[in-house]
Every structure is written in structure tokens, then in C-alpha cells.
Structure 1
């Protein structure tokens, strides 16, 4: 092997939030780990600036990040707890309200900028002796034979590994090169993201209104602003993106029924195409997919990165189990343990979010009446409401050790 080539036990392609969390979770297990990432995260940003990309982290995700010793850094960089959630239907008028105190929790989760999460994780990786960072780095191809993957970089370098982990997003090159097919569909929608200043206090509440053209979510930030995720049909999204700030603010305020007074857009807007996508397989001999490389979900419940963190934690524990039993970490004995633990749960969540999207995106009078009655009934049935809250919080019993209470 030339000086340009090195052997690693595990190579992670994609050093974003999920890939970095997996590498950190695997550290200390006696393995050599490499992470390939195109660019380092931002190290600083102007005071008062809020990234357009934020995540609503569940309690399970928080536990994972705490056990990876990065949560305190995230708190120092800035995160925003939310203690209530209020959801209502634009057509039928049904509403439901969730309160963290009713399940004995201090909050329902935290709104955190993606760049904050990634920086905290990246700083951790930089100090781990068993992790090598190839950044900037990008692969162009791979060769797989005899249980070994040889990755070819765009700049001519190459490295080899016994286990390749694809954490490179929903357009995963690793998945494509491995020939793993996906199933799913485009929603014909875009999610418009922006930051806004409400005239009234957001009350540490995550708000969501279901409109016939797609859900509108307002996520509370610590400084009083809100991050919005407005999912709309392609045609409606094009109209909204073409508006001047004042007109967009007016349309947003109307869509939100002015429940927090006028919502003034504060900064740029962006639009992201939405689709449901699920890999037909998560693993092959010597290869595993995690995060968006394995599954892409509608953002209406903010579960995307939370599912990814659970993937990372479950794959790490499956590999640890293989090591403890003297098994090959790249063998299907180990990798199918991970796939069994995650693929079914992820499929259920994808199906549930797709069903919610279709149910609340239909303005048929009978259906709108039925779903509004369902919201009101759920709001009044404490055990059912608690079940929904516990699921959203990530308080289930069947969680990997990093995420368990």
C-alpha cells in the first residue's frame, strides 16, 4: 500500500450531525476510524445571527449527545427549550395542546441550529485519538472485494476499510455506488425555512397549523424569534419565495391566523424540495447506511435527525456487541442486528408522517370534520395524549443504551 493509502477498521463517509455522532459513539472500542467530510463546520458566526437550518431534538437525542459529552458545548453555543406544543387544523378547526409538565418533564425538547450540533460534535472528533479526519475530502468511486472497501478520493488518494458507513445524506453516493435501491416519492412540495420576529411572545411553544397546501410550523428560539418551516405545494412555494419581505410577512401572518401578532421575516429565506425515501436495504457485507442515506422523511414532526441519531447509536452498539463476541464487524451477523433494530421503526415513522401529511392535506369536508374531531378527542383522552408525547420525546423502552433513560 502506498503512502497515500491507509487501512482503517471503519470509514464514515459524511461528517455531518449523524456521521459525526456515530464516529464519536464508536470511539474507544479498539477500532481505527476515519471520517470523510467535504468541509469543516463553521467555527463562528455573527452575534445574533440564526442559521436557517434548525432541528427539534428529542429527549432521546439529548441523552445521546450528553453521553457523547457534547451537550454542554451545545448549551454554551445556544439552544432553545420548548415546553409546549400547539397543533390545529386550518379547515376543521380541531386543536390539541401538549404540555411537558403533564409527563413530568422540564421540556418537550430543544430547538438547536444544525451548525451548533455539528460544531460541537466536530470539536469532539478532533480530540479523539482513534479518529482520523479527512477534511476537505470527497470520494468519487469505490471498489469492494473480499470484505474490504477501497475508497477513491477525488484528488487521487485512496483508503481501505473493513466496514464502510454511508452517512452522506439523502442523495448518498455510497448508497448509489453500492447499488442499493430506494422506494418512495416526491411530495410535490417545498419546505420554506426562515427566521421571523413575532409581535407577541412565543411562550416557549412549538406551533403547527395544518393547511390544505401543507403544514406551517413555528419553532421558538431563545431570543424571542421563531424559526419557521412552511411546507407548501410547489406552486404555492414559488409564489411565496417570489414575494417581497413585507408581502411574505403578511401571507405568513394570515396563514398563522396572527396568533402571535404580526410575523415579520428577519433575514433570508430558502426552499427545500420534500420527498419520502427509504432504502430497500440498510446493510450489505462490509457496508451500512445511517441517517438520511437510509431514510428521508417529511419534516412535519421534525423527526429526521432524531431518527438518524438513533441509527448511529444502534449501529455503534451492534458493532460493540460483535467485538465482544469475537465476530467480524463488517459481517452480516453484526450488521443485520442493526438493521433489524432500526429499519422497522423507521418505516413505521415514515408511514405515520406520510399518513399525517395526506390526512391533513385533504380539505374534503367529511375528512376535515373527522380529523378535527380526532384532534379534540385526543386532546381530552389523557392516556392517548401521553402516549403521543412520550413517543415524540423519545421515552420509549426499546432504545439503544446511549439513548435510554
Structure 2
């Protein structure tokens, strides 16, 4: 239950951001560039290594360039990925999304370690942003009218921090979302992703390769310093309590099922001991704001990592919210609430489209039923046959905008109708 705020004294910050993942740091970076007084709080003293959020889409690169973050990533040898390719298990192409076709200054994706992306965002914070780590935010301060007026840290003996606006960037299980009365219902996919980081000079193209196999999704892309990320779809309990011998058998079976992984065989076997098993969820909160508080990043939405949209959508949240708050008097609660509602209106629609696109892509690529595999491959081939749909899919994935496919487009994908629009759509900047 939130703490009643009985003090109408001065605020400690214009904006308090709870959570220093990509969403929180992106919001701090964006707000700081407008000169707002920002306090960023993070419960973890150090960022643990985790194989997530490593691919930035072209739309995010444009935003990060504007914030001054992109040069830092490039200076730390981020890898440009020019294509996203859906392949069969033998490596042959089903659908190629070539980002070079896009009308943008940066027609590529960029890959780097999640921790490095966080560091580059952190290094780009302005002098108006203060940051504290090892600080647990465990409650909200609220006025008699139900408005969020700040946060309380560190339990019953903690300190109260008052702010004009609170941003909840505290992840999928967001405590602040619940305390503010907002809801979300994360739904787990029926599989998990087993992650490997392989080292050495290995033959892998500058692209994200997603293999559609009888066992589900396998995804491969390069990281800086001659490393490779590999994700393999597994059932929730597929490798539970597996010993070394069982893991080796599993790896041998994987290499038989996905011949395209043959060049990585030795590295995969050697990397079994450092694997990470990642749960996969999807959700989107039906509302993003209450008076005095807004949800951003994984507190607001989650998608399957296949389409590499989660981190990029979080950056989009920050880019949408910051200018709206910067253009109003934060002491004017009515104006602040209007800015928060405008953010919610824009982002709910965009999040809905991204969620739908990501979920449809996940169903096409991860189904292990015979019917699901046949349908998924049919849709991929149908998209590849149409230059227009191929371009449209690439554009939607890029983060530059969203033009959802309609019912007629689905019939074209299935081969029921011919595509009568010969000229591909071209995105404008």
C-alpha cells in the first residue's frame, strides 16, 4: 500500500526514474538533454551479465545518434548487421530483410553487449542527472487525491524522495506498476531460449540469421571482438537436471537437426558450460499513466526477443515522453497530466502494433507442430515472393515506423491472391 504524502514541501527532483536498465537510462538521457533535474535510482549495485537486448534497430540508432550515444557504441566496436534472414535448417534462405533498402541515414542494425549499451547510455547523461545504485524503491508517496508525488526507499526507515513525475522502469514484474493501480498480465511462451556466447574466428555473416527448424527457433548473430551469440529454442523442462553427458547428446542432436550450425560445432560443445536459460514472455499494459507516474520499458510491455523489439521499444518510450514533459511547466499538475496522457495515447497504439508484429513473427518461427511449421514457412515464402511485402516487413522491423499488414496482405502471403501492387512502398524520413 502506498505511503500517504502529508508534506507539500519542495521537490527533490523534477523526475525520479526507478530502474537503470535501457528504459530508465534512455529516459534519463533524453530528459537530461532538456535540462530537467533527474534522479535515477537502481536497486542493483552492479549490472549482472545477461544475454539480452543486444541488437539495436535503425530507428533506435537515429534516436541514439541524437542523444550522442551512438558514437560511443561505435567507438567500442559495435557490429553493423545489414540483414535479418529467415533460413531453413540447412541454411538456405526463406526471407531476407535487407536494411540497405531503407531510406534512412543508418540502414543497418547494431549489436553489442547489453552491459556496454547501458554503459554508453550512462556515459552520455547530462550534468542535470544524478544516479544512485544499490537503492531499493519499495513504495510510492501519494497525496490525498491519489496523485503520485514521489517514492520511498529502503523500507520503513528509508527516505522519502519527492518529484513532479515518477517513471517506473522497474521491469516486467514492476512493483511500482502494481502500487500505482496499473496492471499487466505477462504470459510465458511455451518454450525458453538457451543462450550461448561463442568466441574465436568463426564463419558467420554480418546479419541476424533465424533458422526455422523442426525443433523450433535457432538464432545466430555476431558480437564485437569475434564473438557470436546463439539462441536455441528449448522446451521449458527439456534440459532440467541434465548432466554433462546429457548436454553433449543434446548438442549432437541439435547439430544433426540444424546442419547450418556445422561450422560452429566445436565452439557450441565447448560453450555448453556457460549457457544461460532465458524465459520468454509477452504482455502489454492496458494503461501507461496515472497522475504523477508513467510506465516505460518492460514495466509497460514485453515481446518475444526474436524480432529484437523490446529494448528498441523502450528507447522509443523515452524518446516520446521526454519532449512532452520538457515542453510543460512541471509545477503545473494539469499540464503534466496532459503530457502524460499524450504519451500514453501515442505509445499504446505503437506498442500494440509492435506487440502484434513480434507475436506473429514468433508464432511463425517457433511453432513445433507440423501444421504450425508448414503455415509459418508458407507465410515466409509468400512474403519473400512479394517485393512490396518484403519491403514492408523490413520497414516494420526497423523501428522507423509501422504499417501493419492487412487482411489482403495475409492472403497474398498465403498465395491465395496475387500481389497487384508492383511497386514497393518507400518510407519517408
How far apart, in 2, do the equivalents of 1:56 and 1:30 lie?
A: 29
Match of 1:371 in 2: 376
Equivalent pair of 2:198/2:228 in contact (CA under 8 Å): yes
How far apart, in 2, do the equivalents of 1:69 and 1:19 lie?
A: 17
Structure 1 residues 244-323: aligned runs within 5 Å: 246-247=248-249, 249-259=251-261, 261-263=263-265, 264-265=267-268, 266=271, 268-323=274-329
Structure 1 residues 139-178: aligned runs within 5 Å: 139-145=137-143, 146=145, 147-154=147-154, 156-178=158-180
Deviates more, 1:151-160 or 1:277-286: 151-160
Q: 1:284 to 1:56 in 2, by over 3 A?
A: same
How far apart, in 2, do the equivalents of 1:284 and 1:255 lie?
A: 50
Deviates more, 1:345-354 or 1:115-124: 345-354
Post-superposition Cα deviations, 1:83-126, rounded to whole Å, max 9, x if no partner, equal: 222213559x871123333446765301111111111112223x
How far apart, in 2, do the equivalents of 1:362 and 1:195 lie?
A: 24
- Segments of 5+ residues of structure 2 without an aligned counterpart are 1-5, 404-427
Q: Match of 1:258, SS? A: helix
Task: Tell me by how many angstroms 1:181 deviates.
Answer: 1.4
Counterpart of 1:22 (choices 8, 24, 27) is 27
- Segments of 5+ residues of structure 1 without an aligned counterpart are 399-403
Structure 1 residues 191-210: aligned runs within 5 Å: 191-197=193-199, 200-210=202-212
Post-superposition Cα deviations, 1:149-177, rounded to whole Å, max 9, x if no partner, equal: 23111161221112110011111111121
Aligned residues: 388
Q: 1:292 to 1:367 in 2, by over 3 A?
A: closer
Equivalent pair of 1:193/1:270 in contact (CA under 8 Å): yes
Task: Tell me by how many angstroms 1:397 deviates.
Answer: 7.8
How far apart, in 1, do the equivalents of 2:306 and 2:351 lie?
A: 15
How far apart, in 2, do the equivalents of 1:9 and 1:366 lie?
A: 54
Q: 1:367 to 1:17 in 2, by over 3 A?
A: closer
Match of 2:385 in 1: 380
Task: Tell me by how many angstroms 1:329 deviates.
Answer: 7.5
CA RMSD after TM alignment: 3.2
Q: 1:323 to 1:376 in 2, by over 3 A?
A: same
Q: 1:359 to 1:99 in 2, by over 3 A?
A: closer
Task: Tell me by how many angstroms 1:140 deviates.
Answer: 1.7
Equivalent pair of 2:150/2:165 in contact (CA under 8 Å): no
Match of 1:401 in 2: none
Match of 2:99 in 1: 100
How far apart, in 2, do the equivalents of 1:329 and 1:210 lie?
A: 51
Is 1:352 matched up with 2:357? yes
Match of 1:391 in 2: 396
Match of 1:111 in 2: 111
TM-score, normalisation: structure 1:
0.85
Q: 1:245 to 1:260 in 2, by over 3 A?
A: same
Equivalent pair of 2:83/2:96 in contact (CA under 8 Å): yes
Is 1:238 matched up with 2:278? no
Deviates more, 1:211-220 or 1:245-254: 245-254
Equivalent pair of 2:151/2:161 in contact (CA under 8 Å): yes
Q: Match of 1:182, SS? A: coil
Deviates more, 1:63-72 or 1:364-373: 364-373
Task: Tell me by how many angstroms 1:232 deviates.
Answer: 2.2
Post-superposition Cα deviations, 1:247-285, rounded to whole Å, max 9, x if no partner, equal: 454344334323552332336111121221221210000
TM-score, normalisation: structure 2:
0.80
Q: 1:51 to 1:356 in 2, by over 3 A?
A: closer
Post-superposition Cα deviations, 1:174-219, rounded to whole Å, max 9, x if no partner, equal: 1121121113422132222121258851121211113455421111
Task: Tell me by how many angstroms 1:74 deviates.
Answer: 1.4
Q: Match of 2:328, SS? A: helix
Is 1:137 matched up with 2:139? no
- Runs (4 or more) in structure 1 with deviation over 4 Å come to 104-107, 197-200, 239-249, 363-367
How far apart, in 2, do the equivalents of 1:197 and 1:28 lie?
A: 38
